[in-house]
Structure 1
């Protein structure tokens, strides 16, 4: 039996959410409504813990600086230590990798014309560890290995939504050709609307965010054509992180391109996913928080 993608998870990765967990302040009035909203997702995860997570995130200047900015960077290592982001590393477990699946992804996806940067050692910041904490809580060790996929959404030019959706399709094809019997989830992280600097600092656009989630569920192919300028105008300078959600969405069965091409999928490969959980909350720090779980029904 080969590996299979059973679900995709989408969640913001606000650093202050990790700080609240690390400091034990999640029951304070400011944070309690958000963490109550997370509980259904954690309950779902307890019942659907995968064998491995392919986690799509962006580095915030810790593994990569402005001296070297890969568009797509695939972690190949057996483990990844939490990065010191200026106030010490988060007190969370070391993230275990899955080198065999990483190698297979590279060997499958690169011949599909995606030029991945292969990273044999790197530290991971809140972009990766906060989603793990949101979904798994505070265990002594993470319950499954993680394959990190870092995407440049910091320095322009960044990949288009269309390219991200295509990469998700390529990842699905790669996973389904892996011989091991693995339950795999693909997580897309970042967002939602927010801007951290300038006169629009603190921007939150709830209509844009909710419409994005609606289209991610029902119209991912159309959503992939939204230009970067719309993300910047409507969701703020950091709202561009949302293109990473399209990688996870592209890995679902209904986005599969049976022809194996990297263009628009004229022939969808499977049933649309079912929505297991959806959350939208404002505010968390100066950011809108979104969370979504889609179960693959193929």
Structure 2
């Protein structure tokens, strides 16, 4: 059967991509943030996963306010990145995966989830920045990617407990897939941040570190929050924690933490990173 070997959590701040393009990783502002990623890259190079399932949120590139699925899964052989309005540089397309992705879709529907199935979507910085962080120089095309998009922008949004259950269902689907594929799961975004309004710049570092602790030892505790709780405690965009919670739901084995880094503020965000091993 296919096996999920681990999970990775990471910020997907668009400024990260710009910093990498401009070679600013060792500047005073960015040094502590980027220092956390070499061990992750070494682990990925050692393990050589075949497939990555990436939980991300679309920031208006493909899924705007007029059409906003709660959960969407890509089943395409290829995903293009596109300009989100900032004049971003063109980067190589992301390689898709079709067999496992369709298996996951079928298993989800059989288990009372109803995801939107996407066979032609562009992916934004929520997905491409994490891949670029793990594979500098955009050397990610060997990795087959299954995008799983969660609505974190427009109310009503799925609550943490539902996102965790989605991850559990995907974890079971992977375990039931015939083959020897090694799978890694990414939870992207967050942690605490608010980019607009009266609380713009709000960060709750204590909450962020507590969430990273609970992702290892007690993920069920995080499912007790409502989205209103997350907005109050972690800022308007703190609901991106739901992608981390979904990732953690996929890890059905014994989970141990191998790496962690946390830096705040980075682009008005509490930027966390973890590597969780799934035994």
TM-score, normalization by structure 1:
0.91
Give 1:293's aligned residue: 275
Does the 8 A contact of 1:78 with 1:98 survive in 2? yes
Q: Helix, strand or coil for the counterpart of 1:81? A: strand
Does the 8 A contact of 1:49 with 1:143 survive in 2? no
Give 2:63's aligned residue: 64
Does the 8 A contact of 1:92 with 1:138 survive in 2? no
Q: Does residue 1:236 correspond to 2:247, yes or no?
A: no
Does the 8 A contact of 2:95 with 2:142 survive in 1? no
Q: Does residue 1:10 correspond to 2:17, yes or no?
A: no
Give 2:42's aligned residue: 43
Q: Does residue 1:284 correspond to 2:239, yes or no?
A: no
Q: CA deviation at 1:111?
A: 0.9
Give 1:177's aligned residue: 176
Q: How does 1:192-231 map to 2 (within 5 A)?
A: 192-231=191-230
Give 1:53's aligned residue: 52
Relative to structure 2, which stretch is displaced further, 172-181 or 146-155?
Answer: 172-181
Q: Helix, strand or coil for the counterpart of 2:121? A: coil
Does the 8 A contact of 2:72 with 2:115 survive in 1? yes
Q: CA deviation at 1:35?
A: 1.1
Structure 1 residues 197-238: Cα deviation after superposition (integer angstroms, max 9, x where no partner) = 011111111101011111111111121111112211111000
Distance 1:214 1:187 in 2: 17
Q: Helix, strand or coil for the counterpart of 1:240? A: helix
Does the 8 A contact of 1:151 with 1:244 survive in 2? yes
Structure 1 residues 61-82: Cα deviation after superposition (integer angstroms, max 9, x where no partner) = 0011111000000001110001
Does the 8 A contact of 1:79 with 1:95 survive in 2? yes
Give 2:121's aligned residue: 122
Q: CA deviation at 1:141?
A: 4.5
Q: CA deviation at 1:176?
A: 1.2
Give 1:257's aligned residue: none
Distance 1:194 1:93 in 2: 29
Q: How does 1:152-163 map to 2 (within 5 A)?
A: 152-163=151-162
Distance 1:147 1:29 in 2: 35
Residues 1:140 and 1:295: Cα distance change in structure 2 (over 3 Å): closer
Distance 2:242 2:89 in 1: 26
TM-score, normalization by structure 2:
0.97
Does the 8 A contact of 2:131 with 2:138 survive in 1? no
Distance 1:141 1:129 in 2: 10
Distance 2:196 2:218 in 1: 31
Q: Does residue 1:274 correspond to 2:256, yes or no?
A: yes
Distance 1:46 1:276 in 2: 15
Give 1:247's aligned residue: 246
Distance 2:89 2:224 in 1: 37
Q: Helix, strand or coil for the counterpart of 1:115? A: coil
Which 5+ residue runs of structure 1 have no aligned equivalent? 254-269
Q: Helix, strand or coil for the counterpart of 1:37? A: coil
Distance 1:40 1:49 in 2: 14
Distance 2:91 2:83 in 1: 12
Q: CA deviation at 1:48?
A: 2.1
Relative to structure 2, which stretch is displaced further, 91-100 or 147-156?
Answer: 91-100
Give 1:111's aligned residue: 110
Relative to structure 2, which stretch is displaced further, 45-54 or 154-163?
Answer: 45-54
Does the 8 A contact of 1:94 with 1:141 survive in 2? no
